[in-house]
Amino acid sequence: MPIPQKTPKVALITGASSGIGLLATLTLARNGYTVIATMRDLARATHLREKAEAEGLADRIDLHALDVTDSAQVTEAANYVKATHGRLDVLVNNAGYALAGFSEETTLAELRHQFETNFFGAVQTTTAMLPLMRAQTRQTGGAKILMISSISGLTAFPLLGSYNASKFALEGWSEALSMELRSLGIHVSLVEPGAFDTDIWSRNATITSATQSPGSPNYKRSQAFLAQIGNGKMSKADPQQIADLILRIAQSPNPKLRYLIGKDARSAKLLRTLLPMRLFQSILLKASGIDS
Ligand SMILES: NC(=O)c1ccc[n+]([C@@H]2O[C@H](COP(=O)([O-])OP(=O)(O)OC[C@H]3O[C@@H](n4cnc5c(N)ncnc54)[C@H](OP(=O)(O)O)[C@@H]3O)[C@@H](O)[C@H]2O)c1
Q: Tell me how far the alpha carbon of residue 180 lies from the centroid of ligand 1, in angstroms.
A: 27
Q: How far is the CA of 80 from the centre of ligand 1 (A)?
A: 23
- Would you please indicate which residues are annotated as catalytic (active-site) residues? 163
CA of 167, closest atom in ligand 1: 47
pLDDT tens column, 111-147: 999 999 999 999 999 999 999 999 998 888 899 999 9
> Tell me: the pLDDT tens digits for 168-212?
999 999 999 999 999 999 999 999 999 999 999 888 889 999 988
Q: Give yes or no for a contact between 154 and 284, defined as CB atoms under 8 angstroms apart.
A: no
From the CA of 68, give the closest atom in ligand 1.
32
The pLDDT mean for the chain works out to 95
Q: Whose CA is nearest to atom 41 of ligand 1?
A: 204
Structural domains in the chain, sorted by start: 10-288 (3.40.50.720)
> Looking at residues 151-162, what average pLDDT do you find?
97
Return the residue whose CA atom lies nearest to atom 23 of ligand 1. 15
Residues in the ligand 1 pocket, defined by CB under 6 Å? 14-15, 17-21, 39-41, 44, 67-69, 94-98, 117, 121, 148, 150, 193, 195-196, 198-200, 204
**Atom 7 of ligand 1: nearest residue by CA position:** 150
Q: CB under 8 Å to 220, separation ≥6 — which residues?
A: none
C-alpha to C-alpha distances, 290 to 223, 225, 260, nearest whole angstrom: 8, 5, 27
C-alpha 218 to ligand 1 mean position (Å): 27
- What distance in angstroms lies between residue 154's CA and the mean position of ligand 1's atoms? 18
With 80 as the cut, is the pLDDT of residue 67 above it?
Answer: yes
